[in-house]
Amino acid sequence: MPYLKLRDGAELFYKDWGNPKGKIVTFSHGWPLSSDNFENQMVFLADKGYRVIGHDRRGHGRSTQTWEGNNMDTFVDDLKELFEHLDIKDAVMVGHSHGGGEVTHFLGKHGTSRVKKAVLIGAVPPLMVKTAANPEGTDKAVFDSFRQAMHKDRAQFFLDVPTGPFFGFNRPNVKTSQGQIQNWWRQGMTTSFKTAYDCIKDFSETDFTSDLKKIDIPVLVLHGDDDQVVPIEASGLKSAKLLPQGKLKVYPGGSHAIHNIDVDEVNNDLISFLQS
């Protein structure tokens, strides 16, 4: 399995699938998961001749569990090293949830010289937490409860999230998937406790507003209007307006994990955007 040794000695795990000479699409996963969460999209595009690259952020999945550096600035600097290592050019970046924040901050901090388009799926920008300037956000007490639940029983909390709001399995008359729940739990428990805990603050309190305004490439925003984790009113709707070349598609009744639940529709939207 390929690893990149980073500037501080940490090792970043990544997948590099498909046509080595194909057009490149990169994937940034959500909290507290790994690149495995994008396998349906990666296989779909690789089968169509694309080169698909997905990494496990430091502390997540198979990457090194560092004690410090569980923050967006470090994550995007790691990703920049990966782009340079693999000589990634003219890429399309795709990010879900916390990974959508990673894509946004990467483009805001490091620019778009290596990237031609981006896709944000159920992404956290511009800001999740409720503030005076962001009244549509989620109250900080909710994120405090996440931290408390992790300290009390992380394993149970990491079952409760996918069983309920993440996939929307708590809605009436929804077909649930025990496999999806167990796969989420598997990925979450592989991530270090410290990283998962620190990243609650990172995904909820990082303000990506200035990053969004800087992005000078086309960005497709995909968001479910029944996203219980990252409500569309505080995220997708605002991001699409802040992005200079933002385009929004709303998934009616869509959960936070539309790429896992509405697989065919998301894949078709991705390929259409890539080919446009």
Residues involved in catalysis: 97, 227, 256
State residue 1's pLDDT score.
Answer: 66
State residue 168's pLDDT score.
Answer: 98
Stretches in the chain below the pLDDT threshold 70: 1
Overall residue count recorded for the chain in this entry: 276
Say if CB 104 and CB 215 are below 8 A apart.
yes
In terms of Cα–Cα distance, which of 244, 246, 233 is closest to 273? 246
pLDDT tens by residue, 60-69: 999 999 999 9
State residue 66's pLDDT score.
Answer: 96
Give dist(CA 176, CA 170) in Å, integer: 9
CA 274 to chain centre: 18
Give dist(CA 236, CA 113) in Å, integer: 25
User: Distance of CA 178 to CAs 52, 167, 169, 175, Å?
Assistant: 27, 11, 10, 10
What are the structural domains, with CATH classification, of the chain? Answer: 3-275 (3.40.50.1820)
